[in-house]
Structure 1
Amino acid sequence: MQNILGIDIGGSHITLAQVDPEKREIITSTYVREHVNSFDNKETIFSAWTSAIEKAAHDLVKDDLLIGIAMPGPFDYENGISLMQQGKFIDIFKINIKEELAQRLSISPKQIHFVNDAAAFMEGEVFGGCVQGFQKIFGITLGTGLGTTFYNGEMATDEDLWDSPFKESIFEDYLATRWFVKRYAELTGEQISGTKDLLDKPLEIQKQIFGEYADTFSEFVVQHVNHYKPEVLVIGGNIAKAYPHFEQKFIQNLTKDSINLQVRISGIFEDAAILGAASYALKKLL
């Protein structure tokens, strides 16, 4: 069996685990999650990443190790070079991460493969999640940001629709967690941190805010997703956990626009990117 490590790297963490390619699941006993501050210097970041990888892969033969890494963009995924100039990971801008990690881990750069984090979410859902067997799939992650990805039957791609124009701004400003925080403050003068807090509030305010969110979300699907003609829409991210609270209006709105679309909610959430990064690396090996 191929020894594979799936890794999800974000602005504040590295999460990783060995993946069983036959069972298409994470080997939970190898799961590692470490805090990594993306604003730290290069050496601190690489040391933390290397330490976490060595913890998760401690019992694997390095010569036979395959590593898939889900990374946010902008990023040169083929060559493993960070192109992030603003905000996170500034100190590793233009650094060849593939070569740096390979050297520190004493493996070949050819054993490491990078994939966009939104595409990794989709690859994970196709490989071991809720849309196995489908050929044309659109994926949306709803959380601190808006992620969009399309699977064409062979490979997932990042569709990068987060900054599509909407009202006086962009869709992400109306579909990410910050919109719930802003809208609740506008209506009540009080603060919440996201949808989890909203679910503890009176039903009347929940219904209004989730209703408005459903209108925006369905508008996004009508404008930007429908022309892909997907068989199914898969939704991930923390906001997806509140889907039952805006599902009815969302589906009603799509029906009014004559869109009949199956909707699946991720069953593996954070683990999707780990599975997806591993399955992407497997594809590159074949």
Structure 2
Amino acid sequence: MQNIIGIDIGGSHITLAQVDPEKREIISSTYVREHVDAFDKKEIIFSAWVSAIEKVAHDLVEEDLLIGIAMPGPFDYENGISLMQQGKFIDIYQVNIKEELAKRLGISQEQIHFVNDAAAFMEGEVYGGCAQGFNRIFGVTLGTGLGTTFFNGELATDEDLWDSPFRASISEDYLATRWFVNRYKEMTGEEISGTKDLLDKPKEIQTRIFDEYADSFSEFIEKYVDHYKPKVLVIGGNIAKAYPYFEQQFIQNLTKNNINLQVKISAIFEDAAILGAASYALKKRI
């Protein structure tokens, strides 16, 4: 069996585990999640990453190891070079991460493969989640930001629609968590941190806000997603957990516009990127 590790790297964490390629699932006893500050210096970031990888890989033979890493963009995924010039990971801008990790782990660069984090989410759902057996799938992650990805039957790609023009601003402003925070404050003058808090509020306010969100989301699908002609829409991210509260209005709106989409909610959420990174590495190796 191929020894493989899937890794999800975000702005505040590294989450990783060994993956069983036969069962297409994470080996839960190997799961590690550690805090890593993306604003730290290069050496601190690399030390934290390598330490976490070594914890997960401790019983694996280096020569047989395959590593898949889901990373946010902008990034040169083929060569493993960070292109993030502002905000997160500023101290590793233009650093060859593939080279650095290979050297520190004592493996070859050919054993490490990078994939966009949104595409990794989709690869994971196709490999071991709710989208197994489907072709032409559009994936949307709804949370702190907006992630968009399309699977064409072979590979998932990052569609990068977060900043696409939408109403008075960009799509992410209407579909990410901050919209719920801002809209609730506009309506009540009070603060919430996201959809989880909203579920504790009066039914009337809940319904109004979720209906407005459904209108925005369906308009986004009509404007930017429908032309991909997907068979399935997969929704992930924290907001997906509140889908039952805006499902009816969302589906009604799509039907009104003659869009017939099967909707599936992520089966594995945070684990999708780990599985997806691993499955992508397997594809690249073959």
TM, length-normalised to structure 2: 1.00
In structure 2, the residue matched to 1:150 is 150
How many Å apart are 1:166 and its aligned residue?
1.1
**Equivalent-residue separation in structure 2 for 1:18 and 1:121 (angstroms):** 17
**Equivalent-residue separation in structure 1 for 2:107 and 2:61 (angstroms):** 10
**Equivalent-residue separation in structure 1 for 2:204 and 2:82 (angstroms):** 46
Other structure's SS at 2:230 match: coil
Other structure's SS at 1:95 match: coil
In structure 2, the residue matched to 1:259 is 259
How many Å apart are 1:171 and its aligned residue?
0.7
In structure 1, the residue matched to 2:141 is 141
How many Å apart are 1:168 and its aligned residue?
1.6
Show CA shifts across 1:239-266 (max 9, x none): 0000000000000000000111000000
Q: CA RMSD in A?
A: 0.4
Show CA shifts across 1:143-178 (max 9, x none): 000000000000000000111111221010010000
**Equivalent-residue separation in structure 1 for 2:168 and 2:245 (angstroms):** 26
Show CA shifts across 1:49-84 (max 9, x none): 000000011110011000000000000000000000
In structure 1, the residue matched to 2:277 is 277
TM, length-normalised to structure 1: 1.00
- For 1:164, the aligned partner's letter is S
How many Å apart are 1:86 and its aligned residue?
0.7
- For 2:156, the aligned partner's letter is A
**Equivalent-residue separation in structure 2 for 1:250 and 1:224 (angstroms):** 15
> Do residues 24 (structure 1) and 27 (structure 2) align?
no
**Equivalent-residue separation in structure 1 for 2:252 and 2:57 (angstroms):** 47
**Equivalent-residue separation in structure 1 for 2:56 and 2:179 (angstroms):** 36
In structure 2, the residue matched to 1:172 is 172
Structure 1 unpaired stretches of 5+: none
Percent identity between matched residues is: 83
Other structure's SS at 1:14 match: strand
The number of residue pairs the alignment matches comes to 286
In structure 2, the residue matched to 1:201 is 201
Other structure's SS at 2:149 match: strand
**Equivalent-residue separation in structure 2 for 1:168 and 1:244 (angstroms):** 27
**Equivalent-residue separation in structure 2 for 1:34 and 1:121 (angstroms):** 19
Other structure's SS at 1:160 match: coil
In structure 1, the residue matched to 2:268 is 268
**Equivalent-residue separation in structure 2 for 1:216 and 1:174 (angstroms):** 7
Structure 2 unpaired stretches of 5+: none
Structure 1 runs (4+) greater than 3 angstroms displaced: none
In the TM superposition, 1:241-256 aligns within 5 A as 241-256=241-256
**Equivalent-residue separation in structure 1 for 2:78 and 2:262 (angstroms):** 33
* 111-120 or 164-173, which deviates more: 164-173
Other structure's SS at 1:18 match: strand
**Equivalent-residue separation in structure 2 for 1:80 and 1:225 (angstroms):** 29
